[in-house]
């Protein structure tokens, strides 16, 4: 069931998730302890302090937009697409990221012996080790927006999807590889 949320909560999710990337490689217990500390610190940040931590202006502008409304709910891995610009998400080959998260996972599975560089080469396996924790912590949810709403990142020949992931591509891919069909998400939509 979806619930309406404030953009402040979405910004806190982004900041918590960004800070938690520094916990890569920790065992589950240590990860959870550090995550709890990060969540506590971020919960005390005000609106302006959150903005200072969102260093990419287009993302900060989107998260501050008065024309968006935000809900917290679940997205199917078939209706969300990963980041696509001059390369694929996290250094994955661009052609692997031209469809839904399910399509990306299928490409990874079909090319499991192929080596690639970039953050995806280590992030996905690390995230899979803490998949249960991701599902349990709201502040580690992915952030998505209605496809094509803010970014022209899903350029042809990308398959049309309902939502573009703004933050959390590696998390979404890892959770899908752990057989999650639906992923917790903060979903941005136009008002009205």
Q: Are 166 and 89 in contact (CB under 8 A)?
A: no
Cβ atoms 106, 77 nearer than 8 A: no
**3-state secondary structure string, 65-122?**
CCCEEEEEEEEECCCEECCECCCEHHHCCHHHHCCEHHHHHHHHHHCCCCCCCCCHHH
Give the Å distances, CA to CA, from 165 to 18, 78, 96, 154, 192.
Answer: 15, 12, 15, 10, 22
Confirm if 83 and 169 have CB atoms less than 8 A apart: yes
Nearest C-alpha neighbor of 20 from the set 7, 47, 39: 39
Retrieve residue 10's tokens. Answer: 């979405």
Q: What is the pLDDT of residue 156?
A: 53
pLDDT tens profile 142-170: 999 998 776 655 555 678 899 999 999 99
Tell me what pLDDT residue 41 has.
Answer: 98
Strand order in the sheet with 80-81: 3-5, 68-76, 182-190, 142-146, 163-167, 80-81
Q: How far apart are the first and last CA of the chain?
A: 20
Q: How far, CA to CA in Å, does 32 sit from each of 69, 85, 134, 158?
A: 30, 33, 10, 36
Q: 8: closest CA among 63, 59, 71, 87? A: 63
What pLDDT, on the 0 to 100 scale, is given for residue 70? 98
Low-confidence ranges of the chain (pLDDT < 50): none
Q: What pLDDT does residue 95 have?
A: 87
């Amino acid at each position: 069931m979806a619930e309406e949320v404030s953009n402040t909560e979405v910004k806190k999710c982004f900041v918590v998730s960004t800070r938690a990337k520094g916990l890569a490689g920790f065992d589950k217990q240590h990860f959870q302890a550090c995550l709890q500390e990060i969540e506590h610190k971020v919960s005390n940040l005000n609106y302006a302090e959150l903005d200072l931590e969102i260093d990419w202006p287009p993302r900060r502008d989107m998260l501050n937009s008065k024309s968006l409304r935000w809900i917290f709910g679940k997205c199917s891995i078939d209706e969300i697409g990963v980041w696509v610009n001059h390369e694929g998400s996290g250094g994955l080959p661009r052609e692997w990221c031209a469809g839904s998260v399910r399509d990306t996972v299928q490409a990874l599975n079909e090319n499991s012996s192929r080596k690639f560089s970039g953050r995806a080469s280590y992030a996905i396996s690390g995230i899979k080790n803490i998949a249960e924790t991701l599902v349990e912590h709201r502040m580690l949810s992915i952030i998505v927006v209605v496809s094509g709403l803010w970014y022209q990142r899903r350029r042809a020949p990308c398959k049309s999807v309902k939502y573009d992931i703004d933050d959390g591509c590696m998390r979404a891919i890892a959770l899908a590889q752990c057989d999650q069909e639906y992923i917790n998400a903060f979903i941005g939509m136009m008002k009205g």
